[in-house]
Amino acid sequence: MTPAVEAFGARIPLIGLGTWDLRGRTCVRAVEQALRLGYRHVDTAELYENEREVGEGLRASGIRRDEVFIVTKVWPSHFGARELERAAKDSLARLRLPEVDLLLLHWPNPQIPLSETLGALGKVKRMGLARHVGVSNFTVALIEEAMRLADEPLVCNQIEVHPLLDQSKVIAACRRHRMAIVAYSPIARGSVRNHQVLARIGKAHGKTAVQTSLRFLVQQGIAVIPRSSRVERLSENLAIFDFELSAAEMAEISRLASRDGRIVDYAYAGAPKWD
């Protein structure tokens, strides 16, 4: 069983497979291989146009459905109450599943009242279409607002986190509200690969800079969803639970973070940008 972070009754495996940009057979194969290797968490979204392939990879793997944590996300153009319910049903139809484990709001949408969207998200959960619900790309202010408005627990905030980006404020806000943190782009789209400090620290443990980055996050209880289409990298990224970074190594890696280390510089329809 892969280690997990728990929040409001949700048990989110600490490592998952990211699938953004994986399409067609590449996506089916990556999901199938990852699950066979031991991954038990797969991240998709209606935006990624690969929910069909994620469902297919899940079935091809032969792993029991109840052993895998499947996450999808609703795109903000579908945040009106009726549209959200429709979008959730459409995602499930593409995945060919009766429910997902976690349904997220993909990005904040300032054009639709958050109360309406959260009301619809809670309803979708109560209808049995999602076991848990949560958010993604929510700033500190939006987390506070969402916590006041939500009628179902928001179990996580999926945000960009890796050793080169300072996300301390939003991470602190999530922890204050006992939300799990799921790190997207956890290896900074592969760019940590050649980082000297990460490579040196990793080498002392017989690990790569990528594994060191992922370990740094999971050791803080932050779930990671690195993406790869290559089986040897899927294995590499999973092999992060058999070593431990010392307090001094953790502190040294923490000092690499900067406010301008962000990769995903996007905001839907003028949504507030970062903290």
Ligand X SMILES: NC(=O)c1ccc[n+]([C@@H]2O[C@H](COP(=O)([O-])OP(=O)(O)OC[C@H]3O[C@@H](n4cnc5c(N)ncnc54)[C@H](OP(=O)(O)O)[C@@H]3O)[C@@H](O)[C@H]2O)c1
Span near ligand X by CB under 6 A; candidates 58-66, 165-173, 228-236, 254-262: 228-236
The pair of three-digit structure tokens given for residue 25, joined into one six-digit string: 């057979």
Exactly one of 39, 48, 184, 266 is catalytic; name it. Answer: 48
CA distance 52 to 150: 30
Span near ligand X by CB under 6 A; candidates 50-58, 215-223, 229-237, 245-253: 229-237
- SS3 for 213? helix
- SS3 for 208? coil
- Regarding 54 and contact with ligand X (CB under 6 A), the answer is no
- Regarding 108 and contact with ligand X (CB under 6 A), the answer is no
The residue within the footprint of ligand X, chosen from 33, 109, 136, 139 (CB under 6 A), is 136
Is residue 48 part of the annotated active site? The answer reads: yes
CA distance 132 to 114: 18
What is the secondary structure of 132-144 as a DSSP string? EEEEES--HHHHH
The residue within the footprint of ligand X, chosen from 165, 227, 240, 262 (CB under 6 A), is 227
> Cα angle vertex 93, ends 87, 99, to 5°?
85
Span near ligand X by CB under 6 A; candidates 59-67, 118-126, 168-176, 180-188: 180-188
H helices within 10-136, ranges in order?
Answer: 24-37, 51-61, 81-95, 114-126
- Regarding 213 and contact with ligand X (CB under 6 A), the answer is no
- Regarding 13 and contact with ligand X (CB under 6 A), the answer is no
User: Which residues are catalytic, by number?
Assistant: 48
Question: Which residues of the shown chain bind ligand X in the complex (CB under 6 A)?
Answer: 18-20, 43, 106, 136-137, 158, 184-190, 193, 210, 225-230, 233, 236-237, 264
